[in-house]
Structure 1
Amino acid sequence: MSILSWLFCVLVTILIGHYGRGSGQDEEAKVKVSAAKNVFILGGQSNMAGRGGVRDGKWDGNVPPECKSNPLISRFNAQLQWAEAREPLHADIDVGKTCGVGPGMAFANEAVRARIGEVGLVPCAIGGTRISNWTRGSPLYNNLVRRATESVKDGSGTIRALVWYQGESDTVREEDAVAYKANFQRFILDLRSDLRIPSLLIIQVALASGEGKFTEKVREAQLGIKLSNVKCVDAKGLQLKEDKLHLTTASEVHLGIKLARAYLSH
């Protein structure tokens, strides 16, 4: 081999190595970007907090396959720290009642199966609450905003949506049911403003049950929300527990998957 040929080979090798390393760094950067948490806020009352498998104040401990823990799913705990997500998701949040299976883990696992990347859940639901308890400036509202803000404070995640299941307590008094649409729309606008996410996706659940006789009025309000980026998943027809108010474990799983598919189709 001549000296010129040898020099040419050396130059080609150096160039290949240089651009090969650059390509590898780009791939590494893409992996880091795709690995950022997709953060979902879980809000509302008891059917979001989860009463699946709860009877006589005790949870049966049954975790369906769709709700199993997954290394790609984390939860923002009461200490404002990310930890492994496991049922019951709201155990340290909705502390006034016994929590069981809700829709959150089934939602997260379905989203992960669709390969969206890492999922972070921020539980905020509290049982027995009316929409008026979530008005701007109230303790529940302030806590939701604080938890949502802190969950992405380090820059490792992005809030993708609020998943909301609430309204059963607004079916007791007619004035609450009539005012539900305006109150919920105000809640959405305030939350988007305070989180500085003007187009935040809201995935709400239309009630499957109610505590009072004005369930249909609240459902009508929920189904009639016309704000942009608000999707509604109807829970009507899902099986209820003996109390005729809370979803069974199987229904919570079914709902969680429906909510995930609503997000994925967005």
Structure 2
Amino acid sequence: MLLSYSSLVSTSNLSRDNALRGKSIFILAGQSNMAGRGGVVNGTYWDGFIPPECRSNQLILRLNAGLTWEEAREPLHRDIDIEKVCGIGPGMAFSNSVLKRDLGIGVIGLVPCAIGGTNISEWRHGGRLYNQLLSRAQAALHGGGGLIRGILWYQGESDTLSHQDAKLYKRRLVKFFTDVRSDLLSPVLPVIQVALASAEGPYIDEVRKAQLEIDLPNVKCVDAKGMKIGHDGLHLSTEGEVQVGQMMADAYAQFFA
């Protein structure tokens, strides 16, 4: 039996709608190395190079600044971290790596929320960045449904500037993770965080120690130490961002898939 063109279109649209409703949502949060500075030259422009691991895929969507789902493409944070030039981050490499493993995860929906130059206190409960993250997460769920599968978190470089901030980092980070999980009504929501590869200040060891020692259920840490850093000495290169994204995918597959 032959189907009419309109029937085929309706079937295609229905399949797409079903895929959207079942999408796996990941929140990308933190500061510049999550927002992505891979390929950014002198902080003034992005070189435009997209490695194969970060190329667009129709199964990877992005919630843009207008709270609309669209096919994800680099730079993921281009309309979110608007005060700085964005380049390659870990989000696309993470997503493509997860999909390649065929974990039955379906459509991936990325929710970029990272803002460069922010310290952990700026992500406190009730603050602007915290509220923006919650609003975008809720919009992601309402915009076609799906399930929040995890938070990808890369932050802490700014907290290495002050000994006081470094000393309080662990307590503040634990509170942030606990608060976000509570407000998202998901007390054991998977979190994959990154231990710093570089720092703005002298207290990197204190912050890294705090990150590596976080002991909360379903919080896993991947270590970016040794990843390739760009010419500015602070931000990961494109290669480094890809490696971090793939390490986060490894952690997701190992602990949460």
Do these two structures clear the TM 0.5 threshold for a shared fold by scoring above it?
Answer: yes
More deviation, 108-117/135-144? 108-117
CA separation of 1:136 and 1:34: change in aligned 2, threshold 3 A: closer
Q: CA RMSD in A?
A: 1.6
Structure 1 residue matching 2:149: 3-state secondary structure: strand
Q: Select 2:29's aligned residue among 43, 47, 51.
A: 43
Which position in structure 2 is the counterpart of 1:195? Answer: 184
Matches within 5 A, 1:7-46: 32=18, 36-46=22-32
Percentage of pairs with the same residue:
56
Structure 2 residue matching 1:187: 3-state secondary structure: helix
CA separation of 1:198 and 1:248: change in aligned 2, threshold 3 A: same
Instruction: Tell me whether 1:54 sits opposite 2:43 in the alignment.
Output: no
Q: CA deviation at 1:112?
A: 1.1
Which position in structure 2 is the counterpart of 1:181? Answer: 170
Instruction: Tell me whether 1:85 sits opposite 2:85 in the alignment.
Output: no
Instruction: Tell me whether 1:114 sits opposite 2:114 in the alignment.
Output: no
Q: CA deviation at 1:252?
A: 0.4
Instruction: Tell me whether 1:256 sits opposite 2:241 in the alignment.
Output: no
| C-alpha separation in 2, matches of 1:155 and 1:58 | 34
Q: CA deviation at 1:34?
A: 9.9
Gaps of 5+ in 2: 1-13
| C-alpha separation in 2, matches of 1:191 and 1:105 | 23
Q: CA deviation at 1:155?
A: 5.3
- Paired residues in the alignment total 238
Q: Select 2:81's aligned residue among 91, 94, 99.
A: 94
What is the one-letter code of the residue matched to 2:223?
A: D
Q: CA deviation at 1:121?
A: 0.3
Deviations 1:5-31 (A, max 9, x none): xxxxxxxxxxxxxxxxxxxxxxx99x9
Gaps of 5+ in 1: 1-27
- Flag as ranges the 4+ runs of structure 1 deviating above 2 A: 31-35
Native 8 Å contact 1:34 1:117 kept in 2: no
| C-alpha separation in 2, matches of 1:32 and 1:183 | 39
Structure 1 residue matching 2:142: 3-state secondary structure: coil
What is the one-letter code of the residue matched to 1:68?
A: R
Deviations 1:92-114 (A, max 9, x none): 00000000000000001011112
Structure 1 residue matching 2:207: 3-state secondary structure: helix
| C-alpha separation in 1, matches of 2:143 and 2:163 | 44
| C-alpha separation in 1, matches of 2:113 and 2:101 | 25
Native 8 Å contact 1:40 1:160 kept in 2: yes
Native 8 Å contact 2:20 2:144 kept in 1: no
Structure with larger Rg: 1
Instruction: Tell me whether 1:229 sits opposite 2:218 in the alignment.
Output: yes
Q: Select 1:105's aligned residue among 75, 86, 92.
A: 92
